[in-house]
Structure formats: structure tokens, C-alpha cells
Amino acid sequence: MAIIRGCFFPDDLLYDVPRHIWYREDGEGRVVIGMTAVAVALAGEILAFTPKRIGRDVEAGRSCATIESGKWVGPVRVVCNGKVAAVNEALMERPRLANLDPYGEGWMLAIAPSDWPSARVQLVSGDQLAAAYERQMEHDKFSGCGAG
């Protein structure tokens, strides 16, 4: 697990660094997505999670859900075209799960992508993650997770 400025990043995930979203391939031809520790640190307490319904189309660069926090309301944008395959109903009922466990119980939704290999190359993992996130944190003037 990588730790960058106090923020945790599991090694088995792929990251859309500018959007602070993680992706996990589920082995069933779908990808599960969620917010990174940086996203929840920037947002503060998550108050509402409103995803697109199962079966709805999603487009690369477009919203698949809306997140509302005490600091921010906005879209969750995805890197791939596809269909919503599953939504985290527990997160809809208890949005704070994203704050408590962003990489586990706080997952947002699963997408059945139409061309995952093309989208996947846009994501960062492994040795590239630390440098990419350091640049993004510098750009965002973000001092780190847990920093006052």
C-alpha cells in the first residue's frame, strides 16, 4: 500500500488521479469504482450519494453519480463508456461509509465498460502513482490527509 502525504492507496487498484477516483477490475468484466482517500479528505463528510440507476449508460468524462458533502456537491466522472452494473445501496443509505472505508464498504458503483482496455491506459498504478499524486496534490495545494 502506498502512503502519499498521509493518504493511503491500495496497490491492487488503478487510479484516475485528477478526478480522485479508483478502479478495481472484478474479474467478471466489470470495474468497481470509488473515491480515493484524497477525495474524501478534500470533500469532508459525505452527506449524499446519488448514482445512476443500474442499466443506465455512462459516457467517458461524464457523470455516473453525484456526491454531496459539507464542502462540495458535484459529479463523479468516469474514464470509460459502459453501463451501470451495480450500485452500492449501503452507501446511498449511509454516505459516511465513503469517509470511513473509501476502498472497501464505501465503493460507489460497478460499470460494465464497453472498451476497458482503451480506458485502462488512462489510469495510473504501481510505481507511477506516487509521482502522479504528488504533482496533483501540489497542483491542488493539498497538504495531505489528516492535515488541518
Q: Where are the domains of the chain?
A: 2-122
Q: Which three cell numbers stand for residue 89?
A: 445501496
pLDDT single digits (tens) 4-46 = 999 999 999 999 999 999 999 998 899 999 999 999 999 999 9
In 3D, which of 62, 16, 51, 50 has the Cα closest to residue 35?
Answer: 16
Please say if the pLDDT value at position 148 is more than 60: no
Q: What is the arithmetic mean of pLDDT over 80-87?
A: 97
Of 10 and 146, more confident: 10
d(CA 90, CA 88): 5
Element (H, E) at 56: none
Q: Which has the minimum average pLDDT: 50-54, 69-73, 99-103?
A: 69-73
Q: Which three cell numbers stand for residue 4?
A: 502519499
Which CATH class name applies to 2-122?
mainly beta
- Identify the DSSP state of 45: S
What pTM did the predictor assign? 0.94
pLDDT single digits (tens) 93-108 = 999 999 999 999 999 9
d(CA 129, CA 110): 22
pLDDT single digits (tens) 105-136 = 999 999 999 999 999 999 999 889 999 999 99
Please say if the pLDDT value at position 72 is more than 70: yes
